[in-house]
Structure 1
Amino acid sequence: MTEITPETLEKLKRCGQGTLTTQLFRRGYRQQFLVGLSPMSKETGRFAGEAFTLRFIPSREDKDWDLGDLKKRGEENLQWEAVEAIAAGQVLVIDSRGDTRAASAGNMLMTRMMKKGVVAAITDGAWRDGTEIGEMPFPAYARANTASTRPAYHRAIGMQEPIGCAEVAVYPGDIIVGDADGVTVIPRAIAADVADDALEQEQREAFLLTKIEGGAPLWGTYPADAATLAEYEDWKSA
């Protein structure tokens, strides 16, 4: 598996979602942004970490309606097994099939992961305890908030396998980058290259924005022509 350095993660954290998706689009990846997912709190800041995946299927009465289910271990309660297995620096990504009728998790599991050093939690379904989660210093993204318990509609069936989240393929070990605008999935093998080029794009566009704010026209400025690029290099050196 491709090594991901702390330096690469720090570079990615400094880049916005638009920059990251532009760099991915230039490499042939047309949609790596998790459309429709929002953070429970706008105050949790930026993050970057390795994907740890969990997959749900629809629940069924003979499998999931035993209220003693949460006392079970192993395959009968794979959700809790995943929360205990995930490591510091990783991001929990849940395939909830886009179903918001029942929660993918609540504040107890979020707190456990936060205390372990997990970076963030993401579902294309819903969380419960949204008010409490929104007050935690822990990035958590979902389509919605619901009060309904997970076994009503979801059964955790697989972890650390390829999943789909918000119609984006996520493989264990992919790099997940998020901020107040949303979340982007970066294939692990290209994460370091994306980080380098995305950070350069961020710096260049910071300069180009000063030009636009100063009244410069779009043509020749955004995207930059040769003269503007030369001016940018002088600005960067200074």
Structure 2
Amino acid sequence: MPPGTPPVLDEAVFERLGRVSTSTLATQLYRRGIRQPFLVGLSPLGAGFQGFVGEAFTMRFIPSREDVDPVGDPYRTGNVLQWEAVESVGPRQVLVVDSHGDTSAASAGDMLLTRAMKRGAAGFVTDGAFRDGAAIADLAFPAYARAVTATTRPAAFHVADLNTPIGCAGVAVYPGDVLVGDRDGVIVIPRALAAEIAGPAVEQEELEQWLHERVREGRQLWGTYPPDARTLEEYQAWKSAQVPQQTKEMTV
């Protein structure tokens, strides 16, 4: 994280952030001066999950070099930081790899992702590639990458350090930042803004779902999206009418 004491985040913050789309979160961050927080080019592997919310546990790659990472057994190069990361990540954390957008070798494979999943990690994200794409897809574990490759990590990468600021898909990620993933991709929320945007993001998501239904009904964009005062008044009336209905359903 940037210098300073990282704010403690209430469980309700994570719950609210998990209810909204990355598009909604991007809008909320844009309103607060964060122009481009989305990890462009990364896609979810497999269809067995909808998304995740997690705190960043970062891993930084640099190019491998023959005198440091000799060709041979790829699991005995002496560069064990990748294993340390997987054996250290905990619940609510998401491993985020800075692979410099390079897909020439893998950031990890199904063994490491399975172990991270068993440790309770929220997800695994790289701006590079994963090995064992089909096996990872079957895990139904939130995993996002730019590509799939069979090439082992030491062929191209050396793990330089853990839990330091990194860049992932062109976005700065500090340890402890909040990442949210959905079926569209992954967005990075500066930790200091997470609690501030959680409530407004839920409100925006609810409003825009209602507006989407109005557009599907055939309404024109003018006055509907973005909503004018009359449309907002109609929305508030609709929302107020839902409260007695929800109360009635809870008492039945």
State the TM-score, normalizing by the size of structure 1. Answer: 0.96
> Aligned partner of 2:130: which letter?
W
Contact 2:51–2:182 under 8 Å retained in 1? yes
Unaligned runs of 5+ in 1: none
- The Cα shift of 1:237 comes to 1.1
* Residue 236 (structure 1) aligned with residue 234 (structure 2): no
> Aligned partner of 1:49: which letter?
G
Partner of 1:172: 175
Contact 2:14–2:53 under 8 Å retained in 1? yes
- The Cα shift of 1:7 comes to 1.2
Return the match for 2:17 from 12, 30, 52: 12
What's the CA shift string for 1:200-225, capped at 9, x where partnerless? 00101111122212222111111111
* Residue 33 (structure 1) aligned with residue 38 (structure 2): yes
Partner of 2:141: 138
Alignment partners' CA distance in 2, 1:2 and 1:67: 45
Partner of 2:118: 115
Partner of 2:222: 219
State the TM-score, normalizing by the size of structure 2. Answer: 0.90
- The Cα shift of 1:154 comes to 0.2
- The Cα shift of 1:42 comes to 2.7
Partner of 1:156: 159
Contact 1:69–1:77 under 8 Å retained in 2? no
Q: Indicate the percent of aligned positions where both proteins have the same amino acid.
A: 56
Partner of 1:49: 54
Contact 1:43–1:180 under 8 Å retained in 2? no
Contact 1:56–1:96 under 8 Å retained in 2? yes
What's the CA shift string for 1:15-55, capped at 9, x where partnerless? 11111111111111110000000011133112101000000
Unaligned runs of 5+ in 2: 1-5, 242-252
Alignment partners' CA distance in 1, 2:222 and 2:62: 50
Partner of 2:211: 208
Alignment partners' CA distance in 2, 1:27 and 1:42: 32
RMSD of aligned C-alpha atoms? Answer: 1.3
Alignment partners' CA distance in 1, 2:213 and 2:102: 43
Q: How does 1:37-116 map to 2 (within 5 A)?
A: 37-65=42-70, 67-68=72-73, 70-71=75-76, 76-116=79-119
